[in-house]
Amino acid sequence: MQDVDAVRGELLARVEAADLDGLERLRVAELGKKGRITALMKDLAGLDPDARRLRGAALNALKEEVANALERRRTALADAAIDARLDGERVDLSLPVRPERPGRIHPISQTIDEVVAIFGEMGFAFAEGPDIEDDWTNFGALNIPPEHPARQEMDTFYLPGERDGRRLVLRTHTSPVQVRTMLNQQPPIRIIAPGRTYRSDYDATHSPMFHQVEGLVIDRDLHMGHLKGCLSDFLRAYFAAEDLPVRFRPSYFPFTEPSAEVDIGCAREGGTLRIGPGRDWLEILGCGMVNPVVLQNCGIDPSQWQGFAFGMGLERIGMLKYGIPDLRTFFESDLRWLRHYGFAALDQPSLVTGL
């Protein structure tokens, strides 16, 4: 019968000499189900009770000692491996930093932020509506009946299916947000609603998906003077030009009466366009006094309340302010374009401005 002390001496020496893989092999070979110590335990059955007790205790102690030795050695080897790795991976602080390009704010997000900030200062609240509308909210409530030519002019995308018996459309303008707001809110109302809009159209100044911002003010005793003052202030703030000429031209929209188109002054010289006092005019937005029919459609009494509304294309005003020549490039996701026309997300620390 094998001497327990001899087995102990041999095993402990092998543990001390093993590497990490060797330790695992040892554990299986000695302590595993088919291992040597397990086999020695089985041999106990053939001994008389006294000898069995003695040898049994010695084998249990051996088993525990070997298990502990294995674990100690494993921890020591793992620690040594980590130390060696840390030693090898020491960071060299004298190396130059890796170039890392900060992300840029997309010009359309920047334009929305600017527009919302300016109207926010004038006391406008932010409103939103869904991209998928029903044709009553996009057209009918806005005094555009089914046979009205505006439905064709807007090159509407109709969707399959309907909601409450109404056809579904991708909204052709942000004006349905006016309708939703009036239906859900008591006047006075003063909202600004930027968002995506859709028309089947594609060239340098049109894209099937684009952005508009809608404004709606409902109050008592409102008139065209308020509309003119509000939009002139906005345009001068947005284009950062106190002396920006602003012109209101009579126009037609089914949902406003009277309606106007607004032009701003500019100068076209040798292929460049400069916004500000000059000989030329540039059309920039549509507006008007909310048609009493629309107020009535939305549950507001036109004998008590008046309103004005306006809508403009966000790409268009962004292109004009930041000199972007083609509207389609807004949605091509070309990183070179975004790096060129995009805006810094945070003010970058610099030697001039400090942190």
Distance in Å, CB of 283 to ligand PHE, minimum: 11
Per CB under 6 A, the list member of 265, 288, 307, 318 interacting with ligand PHE is: 288
Residues 137-176: x where in contact with ligand PHE by CB under 6 A, - otherwise, as a string: ------------------------------------x-x-
Residues 192-221: x where in contact with ligand PHE by CB under 6 A, - otherwise, as a string: ----------------------x-------
The closest alpha carbon to 216, from 194, 196, 192, 197, belongs to: 192
Distance in Å, CB of 104 to ligand PHE, minimum: 29
Q: Which is nearer to ligand PHE, 7 or 227 (CB)?
A: 227
Distance in Å, CB of 267 to ligand PHE, minimum: 26
- Two tokens at 187? 């006047």
Q: Which is nearer to ligand PHE, 30 or 133 (CB)?
A: 133
Q: Please state, in angstroms and rounded to a whole number, the distance separating the CA atoms of residues 257 and 290.
A: 6
Interacting span for ligand PHE (CB under 6 A) from 11-19, 108-116, 283-291, 315-323:
283-291
Per CB under 6 A, the list member of 111, 181, 256, 306 interacting with ligand PHE is: 256
Distance in Å, CB of 259 to ligand PHE, minimum: 6
Distance in Å, CB of 338 to ligand PHE, minimum: 27
Q: Which is nearer to ligand PHE, 179 or 309 (CB)?
A: 309
Q: Please state, in angstroms and rounded to a whole number, the distance separating the CA atoms of residues 139 and 254.
A: 9
Q: How many residues does the chain have?
A: 355
Burial of 210 (C-beta count, 10 Å sphere; 0-12/13-18/19+): buried
Q: In sequence order, which residues have a C-beta less than 8 Å from that of residue 34 and are 6 or more positions away? A: none
- Two tokens at 69? 């030795």
Q: Which is nearer to ligand PHE, 255 or 330 (CB)?
A: 255
Q: Is the CB of residue 266 less than 8 Å from the CB of residue 282?
A: yes
Q: Does 291 bind ligand PHE (CB under 6 A)?
A: no
H helices of 2-142, where? 4-17, 20-26, 36-43, 49-88, 107-121, 135-138
Q: Which is nearer to ligand PHE, 27 or 190 (CB)?
A: 190
Q: Is the CB of residue 256 less than 8 Å from the CB of residue 290?
A: yes
Q: Which is nearer to ligand PHE, 253 or 341 (CB)?
A: 253
Q: Please state, in angstroms and rounded to a whole number, the distance separating the CA atoms of residues 287 and 261.
A: 6
Per rule CB under 6 A, count of chain residues that contact ligand PHE:
11
CA 291-292-295 angle, to 5 degrees, is 100
Site for ligand PHE in 304-343 (CB under 6 A): 309-311
Q: Over the range 306-317, which residues count as b (16 or more CB within 10 Å of their CB) and which as e?
A: bbbbbbbbbbbb
Task: Please give the single-letter amino acid code of residue 42.
Answer: K
Rule CB under 6 A: which residues touch ligand PHE?
Answer: 173, 175, 214, 253, 256, 286-288, 309-311
